[in-house]
């Protein structure tokens, strides 16, 4: 006896539910993805201020005083991720023993 499979079939519902979960996972994974340019990722001032836990105004002061490297492109300020990491590494202070 042949069975007609409809969208109300529990196996079909389970299949589509699995696909929806997979798509949600892919979307969450790619949400923060940024393609690289010559292998380099660039961050906005908002992203850098969040990572460093400083205000965007403090970043402006760092730029004005030449403490942090940046790229000004049109009205957009960008930072090389590697420059930010290098800056953090150079100013790292270990605990006293």
Distance of CA 94 to the CA centre of its chain: 28
Query: What range defines the domain where residue 51 resides?
Result: 42-90
The pLDDT of residue 27 is 85
Query: Number of structural domains, the chain?
Result: 1
Question: What is the full DSSP assignment across 11-52?
Answer: HHHHHHHHHHHHHHHHHHHHTT----BTTB-EEEHHHHHHHH
Integer Cα distance of 41 and 78 in angstroms: 10
In a domain, 54, yes or no: yes
| pLDDT tens profile 31-77 | 766 667 788 889 999 999 999 999 999 999 999 999 999 999 888 99
In a domain, 61, yes or no: yes
The pLDDT of residue 86 is 93
| pLDDT tens profile 1-40 | 677 878 888 888 899 999 999 998 888 877 766 667 788 8
In a domain, 79, yes or no: yes
In a domain, 47, yes or no: yes
Predicted structure pTM score = 0.61
Entry field: residues in the chain? 97
């Amino acid at each position: 006896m042949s069975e007609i499979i409809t969208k109300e079939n529990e196996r079909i519902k389970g299949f589509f539910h699995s696909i929806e979960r997979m798509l949600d996972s892919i979307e969450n994974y790619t949400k923060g993805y940024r393609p690289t340019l010559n292998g380099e990722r660039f961050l906005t001032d908002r992203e850098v201020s969040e990572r460093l836990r400083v205000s965007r105004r403090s970043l402006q002061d760092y730029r004005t005083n030449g403490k942090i490297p940046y790229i000004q492109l049109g009205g957009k300020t960008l930072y090389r991720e590697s420059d930010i990491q290098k800056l953090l590494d150079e100013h790292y202070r270990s605990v006293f023993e």
